[in-house]
Amino acid sequence: MPIRLGENNYGKSRVRLLRVVRQEGRHDIKELTIAIRFEGDFETAHSKGENRKILPTDTMKNTVYVLARQYPVEAVEEFCLHLVDHFLTYNPQVSHVRIEASENLWARLPHGSKPHPYTFTRSGPEKRTAALEATREHTLIRAGIEDLLVLKTNKSAFEGFLRDPYTTLKDDGSRIMATAIRAHWLYDGGEIEFSPQWHGVRQMLLETFAEHDSRSLQHTLYAMGETVLNNFDAVREIHLSLPNKHFNLVDLSPFGMDNPAEVFLPTDEPHGLIEATLRRD
């Protein structure tokens, strides 16, 4: 029976990089983790063990560092575009390149009344992300956010849901809503100022989460995505993934005390997960 090679790819994962830009009296930093994937004419490498079309993954790693020296890495999307252009230019056997990047976000340490010029701190696990898929004909660019932690104690309810014999959850007209926002959005081509767009989308997601009168996490997810699409013409679609971080009211009645929604137990597992993609018609 004949055997045919199906979809295949190879590349380098978790290439880590800290880029320091040194200016007089001020330093700037970017910390990135990069993943690279190639698709293309690699059938003989699999079927015959011929490596003449295989660019070593160690070379991919080295390319990241060389290009980081050549470019300032001001926006992660722009740096990924440099990588894509390099790999497609010098590797005719490659038909499709995928680059995924995540950026650890560092902020300047407050120092008196001013930010410190060369000392930084991280306030949480939030990451800025980018994912590029490119051929010689077109490029798709996605930007995103991971692990943006948010919580609010008002304008959140969950009532009137479906019940069956195993349902024990009670209606709650005023609950704590908390999640770790994971979002990525697809740009609609053209000239894009990546960093202003990213900061604008991030702020819009936060403001909508805060002000939306939520009937469920699905309800708020839709409002967040809708607001971004209505305010950013360069965004074609947005995908949101929102885990429902639960805070359970502690029963203080065994101690003769009431608990008017003031003392809660945070729980990590299990948790609900709500995901959806919103697109322009």
Active site residue 138: no
46 belongs to the catalytic site? no
Cβ-Cβ contacts under 8 Å for 93 (sequence gap 6 or more): 40, 41, 42, 53
Q: Which of 27, 44, 53, 57 is catalytic?
A: 57
Residues 97, 88: contact at Cβ < 8 Å?
Answer: yes
In whole angstroms, what is the distance from residue 80 CA to residue 9 CA? 18
Q: Which of 61, 127, 245, 246 is catalytic?
A: 246
Q: Is 57 a catalytic residue?
A: yes
As given in the structure block, the two tokens for residue 17 are 């990089």
Nearest to 102 by CA among 124, 122, 80, 84: 80
Q: Give the active site residue among 12, 61, 127, 212.
A: 12
The rounded distance, in Å, linking the Cα atoms of 230 and 188 is 14
* Strand pairing report for 235-249 and 177-187: antiparallel
Tell me the DSSP string of 54-66: ---HHHHHHHHHH
CA distance 191 to 53: 34
SS3 label, residue 5 = coil
Burial of 77 (0-12, 13-18, 19+ CB in 10 A): buried
Report the catalytic residues. 12, 57, 246
